[in-house]
Amino acid sequence: MALGVALGAFTSIETLLDGQPGSIHPGIAIGLIAMMMPPLAKVNLSQLPRVFNNTRLLATSLLLNWVVGPIFMFALAWIFVRDQPAYFNGLILIGLARCIAMVVVWNDLACGDRDYAAGLVGLNSLFQMFFYAAYAAFFLNVVPPWVGMAEQSLSIDAMLVAQSVLLYLGLPFALGQALRWFSIRLRSEKWFAEVLAPRISPITLIALLATIVLMFSLKGDQVLALPMDVLRLALPLLIYFLGMFFFTFWLAKRQGADYPTTAALSFTSAGNNFELAIAVAIASFGLGSGEAFAGVIGPLIEVPALIILVQVALRAKKRFVA
């Protein structure tokens, strides 16, 4: 993070690495796909049906992701930035974009149940493709007047949402499962689990670190130029990530879930699909908008927050009693 900010603020790396305006930087896209492929390759598709066995936990996950999460972010945005409509909109777009990408990495680092996480991510992907546009219209156009904010009219491109889901989840999942299938067919499942999987696992951490440096370097100048704006956005985001994680962790444990399942549920509800939020903000409001700026600050806060929560989860694992 420090290296990225320094590169962005004191060098011309931003112009050298500049991507196409109005889209996620290709380097970040490649990094995300690379970091997700190894954990997704380890997913055993035959285990996915058990996600639906415990209907209580499944209902809890859907409730947290698609009711509690959006309402919680709306409340935080109203409390902290209701006088800044652009930042308000940006936070709402982040809160509505449920995590379908990096949650796989956080869950894997925290020794969560990767098969269970993959099932939840798949459900969130479907909900996102079908309901994100409608959710955005409801929380940005319908609800604000109820709390004394100005009415606005915003339309979200459903195709943009589908493209984001396919690129950041569909592609790495297909690549990972193809690698798993060919490895097992050519050698054996034991060879994949004991030889190949450990060899490709470091790719996740390398790609994660490279992506963090790139994200911060591309926006390092803005982070230093608008420190108070960053702090105003950082506070509700930090409260959101921590609040969703700890509440989900507590609730899942109360419902009798074991640690791997609890970790998968917690990271799924705490993380957000910043790729989609940024893409929608840029497409709807423009590259230089406050909404786009808020979208960029989202992952800059989410990444360190979730890394800390990985450590918290691993410490809780030692004292966890199923």
For residue 7, tell me if it sits in a domain.
Answer: no
pLDDT tens readout for residues 166-224: 777 788 888 988 999 999 999 898 898 889 988 988 888 888 788 778 877 776 777 77
pTM over 0.85: no
pLDDT tens readout for residues 79-130: 999 999 999 999 999 999 887 777 888 998 999 998 888 888 888 877 887 8
User: What's residue 122's pLDDT?
Assistant: 80
The mean pLDDT of 242-271, rounded to a whole number, is: 93
The mean pLDDT of 8-32, rounded to a whole number, is: 68
pLDDT tens readout for residues 311-321: 999 999 887 75
DSSP 62-95: HHIIIIIHHHHHHHHHHHHHTT-HHHHHHHHHHH
Q: At what angle do helices 55-63 and 114-137 cross, to 10 degrees?
A: 40
| Paired tokens of 250 | 């507590």
Residue 76 binned pLDDT confidence (cut-offs 50, 70, 90):
very high
Residue 282 near residue 288 (C-beta atoms within 8 A): no
Spatial neighbors of 75 by CB under 8 A, at least 6 apart, are none
CATH of the domain at 161: 1.20.1530.20
For residue 201, tell me if it sits in a domain.
Answer: yes
For residue 240, tell me if it sits in a domain.
Answer: yes
User: What's residue 36's pLDDT?
Assistant: 76
SS3 content of the chain, % helix, strand, coil (to 5): 80, 0, 20
Is the model's pLDDT at 18 over the cut of 60? no
Residue 23 binned pLDDT confidence (cut-offs 50, 70, 90):
low
Number of domains in the chain: 1
For residue 13, tell me if it sits in a domain.
Answer: no
The mean pLDDT of 142-165, rounded to a whole number, is: 78
Mean pLDDT comparison of 124-133, 141-150, 235-244, highest-scoring range: 235-244
Is the model's pLDDT at 15 over the cut of 70? no
User: What's residue 21's pLDDT?
Assistant: 45
Domain range for 73: 29-316
Sign of the CA dihedral running 140, 141, 143, 149: positive
The mean pLDDT of 264-282, rounded to a whole number, is: 84
**Dist. CA 65–CA 244, nearest whole Å:** 9
Is the model's pLDDT at 38 over the cut of 70? yes
For residue 10, tell me if it sits in a domain.
Answer: no
For residue 2, tell me if it sits in a domain.
Answer: no
For residue 16, tell me if it sits in a domain.
Answer: no
For residue 305, tell me if it sits in a domain.
Answer: yes
Is the model's pLDDT at 19 over the cut of 80? no
pLDDT tens readout for residues 292-309: 788 878 888 888 899 999
In three-state secondary structure terms, 14 is: helix
